[in-house]
Amino acid sequence: MSKFVIQGGQRLGGEIRISGMKNAVTALLTATLLTREECRLDNVPRIADVETMLTIIRSAGAKAQWVSDHEVAVEAKGIDSLKLNKHMVCAMRSSVLLAGPLLARTGSLNLPEPGGCIIGNRPLDTHLVAFEAMGVKIERSNGVYELQGKPKAAEIVLPEFSVTATENVLMAAVLAPGKTVIKLAAAEPHVQDLCSMLKKMGARIAGMGTHTLVIEGAQELRGVKHTVIPDQIEVGTFAALAGATHSSLTLYPIVAEHLDSVFTALKRAGVGYESRIKNQESRISELKIFPSSSLSGFKIQALPYPGFPTDLQAPFAVLATQCKGTSLIHDPLFEGRMGYVHELIKMGANAIIADPHRVIIAGPTSLSGQEIKSLDLRAGATLVIAGLVAEGETILHDAEVIDRGYENLEVRLKAIGAEIKRVN
């Protein structure tokens, strides 16, 4: 167990390098199991969830190793889906993404109920309905799903815009003979990144970036070298930090087209920013956030992409505490993501949880340092921001939760002038 000790109330400044996307890389790692050839992923963040996924795919027989600071090589010539490390699978929600590739390769899988952050009810129903439509036989016994049969091509209408279900069906379909159609597919940047990598491997996918994907099954896929996209959740987190602390920050690299809803939210709050293209071919830009003297209350609603990301509603709640007027944060996607608000109230925020999906925040209010706790990955990062905004000392317990998705967070924050240290 570890904690962050934060001395807040200071302006920050400098540049933060954005890591490869956490929500993308876990799916990309499972996709390497679709081929017997070596795959290399670059711009991989050194975070706990990546290490967990590497351990899991090694347990299935894949060779996976770091070949440089942020590059991973995976070779899955011989895999046995029945040898998965069940303890690790239970520890991470995104381990459900093993189902599509392993069913496509081996036709059988015993999958324990995956774990992850406690942010509301997230059943596997959408995944299971889709797999059943593809001819997979499913039984549940003692908390373990027993899946049998290689997926067959099918036309599937997902019951919700589920990112992981879209990714799972996509990976199951790329080796299924015939045409698979996924309707109501999620279109998030990390889904598009998975499509890009699969196409490099020889998959035939149409409709990338839309809510209908059409896949023509291939006989086999080849190895690939792929660079993970920048993490737009990190961008939004640090942008909210800059706005709330009235600081000047440069964030690089970013993909500006992935951030339209974030830019809209910043504009509504009165946060000044400028996005400038740096590489036309790769679409890479940098984002400058300027100190803002006048912040205004705003409304945001978390929605499927291209809507505002659910993972950013919490960081923007801290920004709302520093805005003049009333802000409304609405997350209809999950009912358990407002727990961090109790910690903000403890620090002095004028906030009311209207219901499990909505919080109303009046500002501006001065925050003061307190002893608080990380409830989940995004809530933890949010409370780091709150600690940097607050006057005095904040002690944030369970800092290791944040390590699941942010690489060396305290080191990167120190580089821009933050007073933060980790105590184990």
Whether residue 90 sits in one domain with residue 13: no
Calculate the average pLDDT of the chain.
94
Residue 419 included in any domain: yes
Q: With 50 as the cut, is the pLDDT of residue 312 above it? A: yes
Residue 224 included in any domain: no
Q: What is the pLDDT of residue 118?
A: 46
Residue 225 included in any domain: no
Q: What is the pLDDT of residue 115?
A: 58
Whether residue 369 sits in one domain with residue 248: yes
Whether residue 206 sits in one domain with residue 247: no
pLDDT in tens, 50-69: 999 999 999 999 999 999 99
pLDDT in tens, 346-356: 999 999 999 99
Whether residue 334 sits in one domain with residue 210: no
Whether residue 192 sits in one domain with residue 117: yes
Q: What is the pLDDT of residue 59?
A: 94
The whole domain housing 52 covers 22-219
Whether residue 339 sits in one domain with residue 206: no
Q: What is the pLDDT of residue 123?
A: 64
The average pLDDT across 235-256 equals 98
Active site residues: 117
Q: With 80 as the cut, is the pLDDT of residue 117 above it? A: no
Of 161, 195, 219, the domain-final residue: 219
User: What is the dihedral sign for C-alpha 381, 385, 386, 390?
Assistant: positive
Of 193, 219, 245, the domain-final residue: 219
Q: With 50 as the cut, is the pLDDT of residue 121 above it? A: no
* pLDDT interval class at 293 (50, 70, 90): confident
Whether residue 199 sits in one domain with residue 304: no
Whether residue 28 sits in one domain with residue 15: no
The average pLDDT across 218-240 equals 98
Residue 98 included in any domain: yes
Of 158, 186, 219, the domain-final residue: 219
- What is the domain count for the chain? 2
The average pLDDT across 397-411 equals 96
CATH number for the domain that contains residue 215: 3.65.10.10
* pLDDT interval class at 142 (50, 70, 90): confident
The average pLDDT across 128-152 equals 93
Q: What is the pLDDT of residue 91?
A: 82
Whether residue 48 sits in one domain with residue 185: yes
Residue 391 included in any domain: yes
Whether residue 34 sits in one domain with residue 183: yes
Q: What is the pLDDT of residue 120?
A: 46
Residue 162 included in any domain: yes
The average pLDDT across 115-124 equals 53
Whether residue 245 sits in one domain with residue 149: no
Q: What percent of the chain lies above the pLDDT cut of 90?
A: 87
3-state SS, one letter per residue, for the chain: CCEEEEEECCCCEEEEECCECHHHHHHHHHHHHHCCCCEEEECCCCCHHHHHHHHHHHHCCCEEEEEECCEEEEECCCCCHHHCCHHHHHHCHHHHHHHHHHHHHHCEEEEECCCCCCCCCCCCHHHHHHHHHCCCEEEEECCEEEEECCCCCCEEECCCCCHHHHHHHHHHHCCCCCEEEEECCCCCHHHHHHHHHHHHCCCEEECCCCCEEEEECCCCCCCEEEECCECHHHHHHHHHHHHHCCCEEEEEEECHHHHHHHHHHHHHHCCEEEEEEEECCCCEEEEEEECCCCCECCEEEECCCCCECHHHHHHHHHHHHCCEEEEEEECCCCCCCCCHHHHHHHCCCEEEEEECCEEEEEECCCCECCEEECCCHHHHHHHHHHHHHCEEEEEEECHHHHHHCCCCHHHHHHCCCCEEEEEC
